[in-house]
Amino acid sequence: MNTPLAYLNGRLLPFADAALPLHDAGFVSGVTVVDNARTFRHTLFRWKDHLARFRRDCLACYVPLDATDEQLTATAEELISHNAKLLPPGSELQLVTFATPGPLGFYLSEVENGPATLGMVTYPLPFARYRRFFTEGVTLAVAGLQSSHSIDLLPPRVKHRSRLFWHIADRTLRDPANRFHSPGAVPVVLNHDGTADTAIGCVLAVSSDTVIRPVPDSTQDSISAKVIEELCTATGLKHTDGPLDFRSFCRPLESGEEKTIIPRVSELLLTGTGFCVAGVKRFACAERSRDYTWPGPVFGKLLAAWSDLIGVNIAKQFTG
């Protein structure tokens, strides 16, 4: 079959034929737990970690997931094997796995809901989308605030399908009439403690030879950030978790701040599934901004270590 396949509720079918009914809870209420993994040489990277996070989040969100890890893995590998054959040379895939509670019975005057919906789809990894990360560095720009806390009913660590506030964040930066206008930048949303998160990856700070990750559960759970932690150990870098108020990282230093962590942060990193790790060149918030070392030495060391880990020159994948 010369067309991409998708998996939906127990069967493989052409991507174009895969669809949810309009009364599925994933469409009606946005109740969808999701995971996004990528391949290297058409083999899924850190799939066990992605699968464990997906199962944990389904449990936390009361979304049924009856398939075993073995069944999910076999389906993912079959889907990747077929769809990878349709790619141009040098291309890779991203795999999206999603689950919803299924159809809502009251839409059809039925008493029962369900059964649960489970699906997988792939798409070619968009190298062009991230190319500038490796040719000119990342620009981050604050788009606004979004309340989030680890004890929230829906904590920020859960990976789910609703992207509404990320859509608003993106449009905010594109709107010339908005004070946060910053076209081309990656939108950043801050919580009330100043912790930063993005739709595509985790923001890390570098102070001397130490990589600092935001306090666990304050942002979306990042498998890529865990890879960075492992690479720090392998390369002799230090790694720690700590409170990071990113409002201080997008403005010039003020008097009396010399002894805080703010001036000691020499690099910012962005790490995410699609592009692995990238260096931040500028962090902006409205009319204020600060430039950072790019490409920085810690970024270079981690990028080289990640490339060695998977046997692929990551930067070359994106720059050609």
Q: 106: which DSSP letter?
A: G
pLDDT value, residue 153: 85
DSSP secondary structure, 301-318, as one string = HHHHHHHHHHTS-HHHHH
Here the CATH number for the domain that contains residue 75 is 3.30.470.10
Are residue 210 and residue 158 in the same domain, yes or no?
Answer: yes
- Predicted TM-score (pTM) of this structure: 0.93
Are residue 14 and residue 96 in the same domain, yes or no?
Answer: yes
Distance CA 34, CA 220 (A): 12
- Sorting pLDDT into bands at 50, 70 and 90, what band is 10? very high
Position 261 pLDDT exceeds 70? no
pLDDT value, residue 202: 97
CA distances from 104 to 29, 34, 67, 261 (A): 10, 19, 21, 51
Average pLDDT (104-115) is 93
Are residue 296 and residue 200 in the same domain, yes or no?
Answer: yes
Contact 47, 55 (CB under 8 A): no
Contact 119, 9 (CB under 8 A): yes
Which residues sit opposite 14 in a β-bridge?
A: 5
Q: Which of 233, 316, 235, 310 is nearest to 38 (CA)?
A: 310
Are residue 216 and residue 244 in the same domain, yes or no?
Answer: yes
Distance CA 100, CA 98 (A): 7
Average pLDDT (194-213) is 95
Are residue 110 and residue 155 in the same domain, yes or no?
Answer: no
User: Is 203 in a helix, a strand, or coil?
Assistant: strand
Which of 125, 143, 170 is where one domain is finished?
Answer: 125
Q: Which of 164, 185, 181, 162 is nearest to 173 (CA)?
A: 181
Residue 14: how many CA atoms within 13 Å on its side-chain side?
Answer: 5
Are residue 114 and residue 159 in the same domain, yes or no?
Answer: no
Average pLDDT (262-285) is 92
Average pLDDT (111-135) is 96
Percent of the chain as helix, strand, coil, to the nearest 5 = 30, 30, 40
Contact 138, 200 (CB under 8 A): no
Average pLDDT (70-74) is 98
Are residue 20 and residue 119 in the same domain, yes or no?
Answer: yes
Percent of the residues in the chain that have a pLDDT greater than 90, as a whole number: 81
Are residue 24 and residue 104 in the same domain, yes or no?
Answer: yes
Position 263 pLDDT exceeds 70? no
Q: Which domain holds residue 259?
A: 131-319
Are residue 119 and residue 149 in the same domain, yes or no?
Answer: no
**Lowest pLDDT segment from 97-111, 155-169, 277-291:** 155-169
Distance CA 64, CA 118 (A): 9
Which of 81, 102, 125 is where one domain is finished?
Answer: 125
Number of domains in the chain: 2
Distance CA 88, CA 98 (A): 26
Q: 19: which DSSP letter?
A: -
Here the CATH number for the domain that contains residue 285 is 3.20.10.10
Which of 125, 159, 178 is where one domain is finished?
Answer: 125
